[in-house]
Amino acid sequence: MTVKTMTAAINEAIDQEMGRDDRVFVAGEDVRVGGPFGTEAGLHAKYGDKRIVNTAISELALTGIGVGAAAVGLRPIIEIMIMDFVSVAMDQIVNQMAKMKYMLGGQARLPIVVTTHAGIDSSSAAQHSGSLEAWFCHVPGLKVVMPSNAYDAKGLLTAAIQDDNPVIYISNKRCMQTSSEVPDESYALPLGVADVKRVGSDVTVVAIGRLVLDALTAAEELAKEGINLEVIDPRTLSPMDTTTIVKSVQKTNRAVVAHEAVRNCGIGAEIAATIADEAFDFLDAPVKRVGAPFTPVPFAPLLEKQYLPGAQDIVAAVRSLYH
């Protein structure tokens, strides 16, 4: 085990999978110089032009390269540097990638991973700060992964690259330089399995991406008041491990769902609905949701700070369950 940043863990997962399987390649904008966040650093020198492919600034074309390559037996990793830019590639992702296997009666496999970076970071403003994971959870045929730490990031990306289905792999920008212990050897974490980051007895907090870290911070603060949070990180948003979430709520009888994306129609609403469907009789209070306001992300640092949901919003939501 070595302490690594999430950036380094992702880089290591890509490197090890490229070394294991020569069908794996990376295509994207500026990937030969390491990519916008350094996740491909050093790979061009090791694997060359044919496996680390710089593309034109066209997310639609870039994603089309991946779909075509996957359909004929390669295993592409397609880097879309900022999540907001996936909107340009939605036809390839939603109408081709997600549906091709179904429409061809299972005759085609689509082992493709689309990696992208979501969330708010350093006044990147409205067109570079989106958290759009709920879009893809709504599309049958796509798996959606969103890790919160370096250990999960490496294991989940390894599993995604090895999967024979399309995977949207989303990294939160504010998680990229956080560190944790990560095995040096290759390992895969199963997709569709949640992780209980903190065992508790009083309130279940289901948190996504960076909000997992904020939920753990909130748990420490609330512990001083005698409120013991259980923090669950779904890790895979589709398919989601609802069994772990429901089992936790049946124990704690209270639930908060937290994510950086806007609150309206976010994945938190689906989680809250699932809790209401499957654990309603166990609830002692309504399910509370924490998310960003329903407005574009502001540029001004002060407004951005006010916009961004965090630990104190989770603390307030938990306290509201007792009043």
Query: Do 172 and 211 belong together in one domain?
Result: no
Query: Do 88 and 121 belong together in one domain?
Result: yes
Residue 162's nearest CA partner among 145, 149, 147, 176 is 145
Question: Which pLDDT band, with edges at 50, 70 and 90, does 46 fall under?
Answer: very high
What pLDDT is stored for residue 122 in this prediction? 84
Place of tokens 């806007």: 262
What pLDDT is stored for residue 323 in this prediction? 81
Rounded mean pLDDT of 252-257? 98
Whether the Cβ atoms of residue 137 and residue 84 lie closer than 8 Å to each other: no
Query: Do 208 and 312 belong together in one domain?
Result: yes
pLDDT at residue 85 above 90? yes
Which residues lie closer than 8 Å to 220 by C-beta, 6 or more apart? Answer: none
Q: In this structure, is residue 210 part of a structural domain?
A: yes
CATH number of the domain enclosing 18 = 3.40.50.970
CB neighbour burial string for 257-271, b if at least 16 within 10 angstroms, e if fewer? bbbbbbbeebbbbbb
Query: Do 107 and 238 belong together in one domain?
Result: no
Query: Do 161 and 309 belong together in one domain?
Result: no
Could you report the per-residue pLDDT of 162-221, keeping only the tens digit for each? 999 999 999 999 999 999 999 999 999 999 999 999 999 999 999 999 999 999 999 999
Helices (H), 93-149: 100-103, 133-137
What pLDDT is stored for residue 37 in this prediction? 93
pLDDT at residue 84 above 90? yes
Could you report the per-residue pLDDT of 173-188, keeping only the tens digit for each? 999 999 999 999 999 9
What pLDDT is stored for residue 159 in this prediction? 98
Q: In terms of residue numbers, what domain contains 142?
A: 2-182
Task: Please compute, for residue 303, the number of CA atoms within 13 A of its CA located in the half-sphere on the CB side.
Answer: 11
Question: Which pLDDT band, with edges at 50, 70 and 90, does 80 fall under?
Answer: very high
Q: For the chain, what percentages of helix, strand and coil (3-state, to nearest 5) are there?
A: 40, 20, 40
Output the average pLDDT for the chain: 97
Q: Which of 12, 29, 79, 128 is catalytic?
A: 128
Rounded mean pLDDT of 224-234? 98
Q: In this structure, is residue 300 part of a structural domain?
A: yes
Burial label for 273, CB within 10 Å (0-12, 13-18, 19+), is exposed
Query: Do 167 and 223 belong together in one domain?
Result: no
CATH number of the domain enclosing 266 = 3.40.50.920
Task: Calculate ∠ Cα 46-48-49, nearest 5°.
Answer: 155
Query: Is residue 323 among the annotated active site residues?
Result: no
Q: In this structure, is residue 271 part of a structural domain?
A: yes
What pLDDT is stored for residue 244 in this prediction? 98
Query: Do 137 and 230 belong together in one domain?
Result: no
Rounded mean pLDDT of 246-250? 98
Could you report the per-residue pLDDT of 277-315, keeping only the tens digit for each? 999 999 999 999 999 999 999 999 999 999 999 999 999
Q: In this structure, is residue 187 part of a structural domain?
A: no
Last residue within a domain, chosen from 182, 209, 238? 182
Query: Do 89 and 68 belong together in one domain?
Result: yes
Could you report the per-residue pLDDT of 93-149, keeping only the tens digit for each? 999 999 999 999 998 899 999 999 999 988 899 999 999 999 999 999 999 999 999
Q: In this structure, is residue 188 part of a structural domain?
A: no
Query: Do 83 and 166 belong together in one domain?
Result: yes
Query: Do 206 and 85 belong together in one domain?
Result: no
Last residue within a domain, chosen from 148, 182, 216? 182
Q: In this structure, is residue 189 part of a structural domain?
A: no
Q: What is the distance between the terminal CA atoms of the chain, rounded to a whole angstrom? A: 44
Query: Do 168 and 21 belong together in one domain?
Result: yes
Helices (H), the chain: 6-20, 43-47, 59-71, 90, 100-103, 133-137, 150-162, 210-223, 242-252, 267-279, 301-307, 311-320
How many distinct structural domains can be found in the chain? 2
Whether the Cβ atoms of residue 118 and residue 131 lie closer than 8 Å to each other: yes
DSSP string of 269-310, one letter each residue: HHHHHHHHHHHGGG-SSPPEEEEE-SSPPPSSHHHHHHHS--
Whole-prediction pTM: 0.97
Q: In this structure, is residue 19 part of a structural domain?
A: yes
Last residue within a domain, chosen from 147, 182, 217? 182
Query: Do 118 and 252 belong together in one domain?
Result: no
Identify the bridge partners of residue 204 per DSSP, sorted by sequence position: 230, 255
pLDDT at residue 271 above 90? yes
Helices (H), 86-140: 90, 100-103, 133-137
Q: In this structure, is residue 294 part of a structural domain?
A: yes
Q: Which of 59, 79, 133, 304 is catalytic?
A: 59
